[in-house]
């Protein structure tokens, strides 16, 4: 088990060749460790331990008489640092060998190599940030769209934490009053009328419900719009995926059944991130592996926010394609649906055929040539229009983006619903108090007021070493 305050060190910038890199240390005595290896330009030993916080010092790092590198040492003092501990960050030259030598020097001088996410974990354990804000830091680092970045910044700033703290305070007040009633059970007194408690629980249900409902928008902001490309084999699904991505990501072949499993990649159009899934062609499977691929395709289709059903308008099987489009559209009525007529460059009367498909299937149809890139801009524009309501940034409100937070809030909502039903049925105070305490614990799990070591390990293991 890591010891509290034990000096740790890690590289805080990506590994590779660059102009500069940052190696950071944190914990008890790190200023003294730094002074033993840091010298000012005049050759005197460094005085980082005696310097004020937020000050930068130019000098050199030495391993005994051996010069390692010229660096900038940035000093932080507890509790006014990221970890709320004493810290030093060395900005050195960005060559991999240089950085490794600096890190080795620090490890030889008394630091331990940090575990993944240990700097952020210490910030949480030392009360610098709550658990939700710690997760938001990771989300901001890995954000791939503007909406994901904005949502992560909002959570890092504490907007969602503030909302949850308000919920927790309301629950705490109600729990405290119920606990008082239990302490004075023999006197048969009520410190809060059941009508007032029912109204308060109803109000809490509304607030928790709004947060639960925000998860759809938050998930899309964080992960992208789940967009499935479906259709028969050889319709051009992989070609369309490659064209939308602008790179050769999927193997393209004239042999049917080439795609045996789904492929997922993301692209951004007009600030909206689409998480594209190229699925196995829908047909009677020719073997066990292809059968499993088709099963997974249908699973992804059921989860889609947007479905692109691709068909070959030049195949001569228009009646069958119309039947497929009508059936798929009926099976997935909640998904935003576009029937994409591919290979218009090979069809004799593409516009007339597109009109017939639209008329007989009832689906919106857009004609493209995935191979030549024709109609792709129109398709992208329409994709953006269909999901515009899903990708709202909701600047006036907070969004839930994490499945962990969503599940905790769903559990809290269930506990509040149980509490409301017990109140309405005049149940014992102890039963009502149990459900409200459960709701309180579920809300506390999100911000870390209720700490679960397994949850902490899972969250911080996803961070890089230097964060």
DSSP assignment letter at 43: S
For the beta carbon of residue 253, count every other beta carbon within 10 angstroms: 12
Predicted confidence at residue 45, as pLDDT, reads: 61
Query: Quick one: average pLDDT of 204-228?
Result: 88
Contact between residue 359 and residue 351 where contact means Cβ atoms under 8 Å apart: no
The answer to whether 70 touches 91, Cβ cutoff 8 Å, is no
**E strand segments, 27-83:** 38-39, 55-63, 66-76
What pLDDT shows up at residue 164? 93
Whole-number Å distance between alpha carbons of 10 and 114:
6
Pinpoint the alpha helices (H) of 184-235: 194-213, 215-223
Its pTM stands at 0.75
Per cent of the chain over pLDDT 90 is: 44
DSSP 3-state of 387: coil
Strands 87-94 and 18-26, by their bridges, are: antiparallel
Locate 406 and state its tokens: 């969503």
Backbone angles phi, psi at 109, to 5 degrees: -95, 0
Q: How far apart are CA 76 and CA 31, in angstroms?
A: 9
Q: How confident is the model at residue 291 (pLDDT cuts 50, 70, 90)?
A: low
Q: What is the pLDDT of residue 42?
A: 76
Determine the pLDDT at residue 28: 96
C-alpha count within 13 angstroms, C-beta hemisphere, residue 4:
5
Q: Which domains does the chain have, with CATH numbers?
A: 8-129 (3.30.1360.120), 135-215+399-448 (1.20.120.430), 225-386 (3.40.50.300)
Q: CB-based burial of residue 342 (10 Å sphere; 0-12 exposed, 13-18 middle, 19+ buried)?
A: buried
**How many residues are there in the chain?**
467
Residues 6+ positions from 457 with CB-CB distance below 8 Å: none
Comparing 318 with 191, the larger pLDDT belongs to 318
Asked which of 193-207, 278-292, 311-325 is least confident by mean pLDDT, the reply is 278-292
Residue 408: per-residue pLDDT? 95
What number is the average pLDDT over the span 422-431? 88
The pLDDT score that the predictor gives to residue 252 is: 43
pLDDT the model gives residue 267 = 87
Band (273; pLDDT cuts 50, 70, 90): confident
Confirm if 462 and 201 have CB atoms less than 8 A apart: no
Helix, strand, coil abundance in the chain, percent, nearest 5: 50, 20, 35
Render pLDDT for 312-343 as a digit per residue (tens, 0 to 9). Answer: 998 878 888 899 888 888 887 767 899 999 99
CB 356 within 8 A of CB 318: yes
The alpha helices in 38-190, defined as continuous H runs, are 96-108, 118-125, 131-141, 146-157, 159-183
């Amino acid at each position: 088990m890591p010891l509290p305050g034990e000096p740790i060190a890690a590289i805080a910038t990506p590994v590779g060749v660059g102009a500069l890199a940052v190696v950071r240390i944190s914990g008890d005595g790190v200023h003294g460790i730094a002074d033993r290896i840091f010298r000012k330009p005049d050759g005197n030993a460094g005085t980082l331990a005696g310097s004020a916080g937020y000050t930068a010092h130019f000098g050199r790092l030495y391993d005994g008489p051996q010069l390692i590198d010229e660096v900038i040492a940035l000093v932080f003092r507890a509790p006014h640092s990221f970890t709320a501990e004493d810290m030093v960050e060395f900005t050195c030259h960005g060559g991999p060998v240089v950085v490794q030598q600096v890190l080795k020097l620090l490890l030889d001088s008394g630091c331990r190599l940090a575990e993944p996410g240990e700097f952020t974990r210490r910030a949480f354990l030392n009360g610098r940030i709550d658990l939700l804000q710690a997760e938001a830091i990771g989300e901001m680092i890995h954000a791939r769209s503007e909406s994901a970045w904005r949502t992560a910044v909002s959570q890092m700033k504490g907007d969602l934490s503030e909302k949850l703290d308000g919920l927790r305070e309301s629950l705490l007040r109600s729990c405290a009053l119920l606990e008082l009633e239990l302490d004075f059970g023999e006197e048969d007194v009520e410190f809060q009328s059941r009508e007032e408690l029912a109204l308060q629980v109803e109000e809490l249900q509304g607030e928790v419900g709004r947060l639960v409902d925000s998860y759809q928008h938050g998930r899309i902001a964080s992960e992208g719009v789940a967009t499935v490309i479906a259709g028969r084999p050889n319709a051009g699904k992989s070609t369309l995926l490659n064209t939308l991505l602008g790179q050769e990501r999927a193997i393209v072949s004239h042999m049917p059944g080439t795609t045996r499993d789904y492929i997922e990649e993301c692209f951004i159009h007009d600030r909206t991130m689409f998480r594209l899934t190229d699925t196995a062609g829908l047909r009677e499977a020719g073997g066990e592996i292809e059968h499993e691929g088709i099963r997974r395709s249908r699973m992804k289709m059921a989860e889609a926010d947007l479905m692109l059903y691709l068909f070959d308008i030049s195949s001569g099987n228009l009646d069958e394609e119309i039947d497929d489009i009508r059936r798929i559209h009926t099976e997935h009525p909640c998904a935003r649906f576009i029937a994409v007529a591919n290979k218009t460059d090979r069809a004799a009367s593409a516009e007339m055929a597109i009109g017939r498909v639209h008329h007989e299937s009832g689906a919106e149809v857009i004609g493209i040539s995935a191979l030549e890139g024709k109609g792709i801009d129109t398709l992208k524009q329409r994709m953006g229009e269909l999901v515009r309501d899903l990708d709202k940034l909701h600047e006036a409100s907070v969004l839930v983006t994490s499945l962990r937070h969503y599940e905790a809030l769903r559990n809290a909502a269930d506990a509040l619903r149980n509490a409301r039903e017990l109140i309405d049925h005049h149940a014992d105070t102890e039963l009502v108090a149990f459900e409200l305490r459960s709701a309180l614990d579920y809300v506390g799990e999100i911000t870390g007021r209720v700490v679960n070591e397994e949850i902490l390990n899972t969250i911080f293991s996803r961070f890089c070493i230097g964060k």
